[in-house]
């Protein structure tokens, strides 16, 4: 059975995460990045990310054997079935890089951009075959986060979007398909809305950085790991579900919307945030937030998988 030949273009944090994900699923992966020292950083980072996925030494070694670094872009994508692009986050850079990839890759290859904010329509205009350019935006840390946002642009064929959905599912991801393009896609827009209010609360002196973070992680954030905002709203209605929740909580929700803030990221607000973050990190007493995040994300992933398996067994 043929397995897709994958090329990862750009080996920063996201590119390394994609590389580890593809390797963990048994794919042959070629990576390309013009930055000095890119190959060494790639190999070190990919090995570390494979450990996040709980591969033992033998499994990780076999996966890393399938990794190839090719400094020449045209050669790197020359026989690819799938290209995951992770270049600089500007329209000009994305447009030029995708055009270069499309002129060197096979006609059947899909080019998926990891862009966190730019629409496909803005990136695909100079591609040789824009119909196969799609969005494939992940979240960090890529090996542990299941969400991938998938979309096409004005010139993308629907079959290419479907192919992307199928491919990412085969990588153990939970892709969502955007019905229409919007800058920032879905996840980052939701995140930006929350961050805007967090900065407003800090600006107005309502709570400290540490307490605002706790309000999320020990409050709605813990619920959102299991059920998103709409299912959470449904559950808030008890036996009456979402209809009861709208009747009971709708007016209060509307009133809160009218009081949400719109802060500006002034130097003073940035300074206040940085000072608060540093104080919060000090108060953690040596607990490294990156390590804690990885540990908890792994636990959540395992718990969700176990619940899904139990539910399937009971069907």
Integer Cα distance of 36 and 81 in angstroms: 27
- Residue 276 has a CB neighbour count (10 Å cut-off) of 18
Check: CB of residue 109 under 8 Å from CB of residue 132: yes
Average pLDDT, the chain: 94
CA–CA distances in Å: residue 156 to residues 77, 164, 296: 20, 12, 38
What tens digit of pLDDT does each residue of 59-97 get?
A: 999 999 999 999 999 999 999 999 999 999 999 999 999
Residue 285 Rama label (left phi>0; alpha psi -120 to 50; beta) = left
Q: Can you give the pLDDT at residue 195? A: 97
Q: Can you give the pLDDT at residue 208? A: 97
Integer Cα distance of 192 and 195 in angstroms: 5
What tens digit of pLDDT does each residue of 229-283 get?
A: 999 999 999 999 999 999 999 999 999 999 999 999 999 999 999 999 999 999 9
Residue with tokens 């990156």: 290
What tens digit of pLDDT does each residue of 176-204 get?
A: 999 999 999 999 999 999 999 999 999 99
Beta pairing, strands 82-85 & 110-113: parallel
Structure tokens at 111: 């080019």
Q: Can you give the pLDDT at residue 4? A: 82
Q: Can you give the pLDDT at residue 309? A: 79
Q: Can you give the pLDDT at residue 1? A: 39
What tens digit of pLDDT does each residue of 202-238 get?
A: 999 999 999 999 999 999 999 999 999 999 999 999 9
CA–CA distances in Å: residue 184 to residues 44, 73, 114, 118, 191: 30, 27, 12, 7, 10
What pTM value is reported for the model? 0.93
Integer Cα distance of 187 and 41 in angstroms: 28
Q: Can you give the pLDDT at residue 121? A: 97
Integer Cα distance of 71 and 272 in angstroms: 43
What tens digit of pLDDT does each residue of 137-175 get?
A: 999 999 999 999 999 999 999 999 999 999 999 999 999
Radius of gyration of the chain (CA): 22
């Amino acid at each position: 059975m043929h397995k897709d030949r994958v090329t990862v273009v750009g080996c920063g944090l996201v590119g390394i995460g994609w590389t580890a994900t593809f390797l963990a699923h048994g794919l042959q992966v070629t990576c390309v990045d013009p930055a000095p020292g890119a190959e060494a950083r790639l190999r070190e980072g990919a090995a570390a990310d494979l450990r996040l996925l709980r591969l033992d030494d033998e499994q990780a070694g076999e996966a890393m054997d399938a990794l190839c670094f090719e400094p020449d872009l045209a050669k790197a994508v020359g026989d690819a079935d799938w290209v995951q692009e992770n270049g600089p986050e500007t329209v000009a850079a994305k447009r030029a890089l995708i055009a270069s990839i499309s002129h060197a890759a096979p006609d059947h290859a899909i080019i998926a951009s990891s862009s966190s904010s730019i629409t496909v329509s803005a990136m695909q205009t100079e591609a040789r075959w824009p119909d196969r350019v799609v969005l494939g935006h992940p979240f960090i840390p890529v090996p542990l986060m299941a969400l991938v946002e998938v979309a096409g642009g004005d010139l993308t064929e629907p079959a290419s979007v479907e192919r992307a959905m199928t491919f990412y599912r085969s990588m153990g991801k939970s892709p969502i398909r955007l019905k229409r393009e919007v800058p920032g896609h879905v996840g980052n827009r939701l995140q930006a809305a929350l961050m805007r209010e967090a900065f407003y609360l800090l600006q107005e002196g309502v709570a400290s950085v540490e307490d605002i973070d706790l309000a999320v992680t020990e409050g709605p954030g813990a619920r959102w790991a299991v059920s998103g905002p709409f299912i959470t709203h449904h559950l808030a209605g008890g036996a009456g579900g979402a209809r009861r929740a709208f009747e009971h909580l709708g007016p209060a929700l509307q009133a809160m919307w009218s009081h949400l803030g719109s802060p500006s990221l002034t130097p003073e607000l940035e300074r206040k945030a940085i000072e608060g973050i540093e104080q919060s990190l000090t108060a953690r007493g040596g607990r490294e937030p990156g390590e804690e995040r990885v540990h908890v994300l792994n636990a959540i992933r395992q718990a969700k998988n176990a619940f899904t398996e139990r539910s399937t067994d009971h069907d």
